[in-house]
Amino acid sequence: MAIFHIPLFFNKKVFFYKLMGCGKNGTFDIHPDFNQWAIMVFFQTENPETMEPNPDSVVGGFIRFWWRFFKVNLSWFLLEPYAGHGTWDGKSFVSQRKSSEEPIGKIGVLTRATIRLSKLGQFWRAVPHASKDLSQTQGLLYSVGIGEIPFVKQATFSIWESMADMKAFAYKKRAHQEVIQQTRDGNWYSEEMFLRFKMLAEKT
């Protein structure tokens, strides 16, 4: 998949992208899933709600050919970021000062961090506790752990039935809150980002 860097780098529609591997169990996981990979693409369009709901129109012909030639089982989500904070490689994708109206229905959530090398042990020891019972969480429809650099640059992408369901997990689950507090007190991350997305279209 590393050769996808070439067509994406020269794709004028794309202003930010990441090619990532995936972990097992739908969240941060030290064990990679070699049968699953992720492409994340940020691009600009005048009206995202009326664009063609198909990733082919964004990634370009070479990647489309690759998917079809190898008969890839493809899941994709067309999303519009509307709220969040933090950066990825120094870039932010929403106004962090402007309040946005929460959408009705499904939302996507991306949580990512660059973990300080001195904090790797603490982070990975805390992961099982934080992600405990995630798959049984009410309102969680989809979740995948994705990694740009193994062990160091990690992210989780998830789809929720509603904002209320996501907040119930993020702010009311004790184990999750304890780990969040540890990351802040221990300054585990050198960079982090949290984004919420409107769901425009999907195929799973």
Mean pLDDT of the chain, nearest integer: 87
Max Cα–Cα distance, the chain, nearest Å: 49
Look at residue 180 in the predicted model and tell me its pLDDT: 82
Q: What are the tokens at 157? A: 């992408």
The pair of structure tokens assigned to 193 is 């980002």
Which pLDDT does position 167 carry in this prediction? 86
**DSSP code for 124:** H
Q: Are 41 and 58 in contact (CB under 8 A)?
A: yes
Please tell me which residue, 97 or 177, carries the higher pLDDT value: 177
- pLDDT above 80 (res 177): no
Q: Using 50, 70 and 90 to split pLDDT, how confident is the model at 204?
A: confident
The pLDDT assigned to 116 comes to 95
pLDDT in tens, 109-162: 999 999 999 999 998 888 776 666 666 788 999 999 999 988 899 999 999 999
CATH number listed for the domain at residues 2-203: 3.30.70.100
Query: How would you classify the pairing of strands 153-160 and 107-115?
Result: antiparallel
Q: Which whole number is the average pLDDT over 25-38?
A: 83
Contact between 111 and 156 under an 8 Å Cβ cutoff? The reply is yes
Cα 35 from chain centroid (whole Å) = 18
| Position with higher pLDDT, 8 vs 173 | 8
The predicted model scores a pTM of 0.88
Both structure tokens of 155: 């992210």
Residue with the larger pLDDT of the pair 195 and 31 = 195
Q: Percentage of residues in the chain with pLDDT exceeding 90?
A: 53
Q: Is the pLDDT of residue 60 over 70?
A: yes
Tokens of residue 165, six digits = 């369901």
| Core vs surface per residue 14-44: b (16+ CB within 10 A) or e | beebbbbbbbebbbbbeeeeeebebbbbebe
Q: In this predicted structure, what is the pLDDT of residue 135?
A: 65
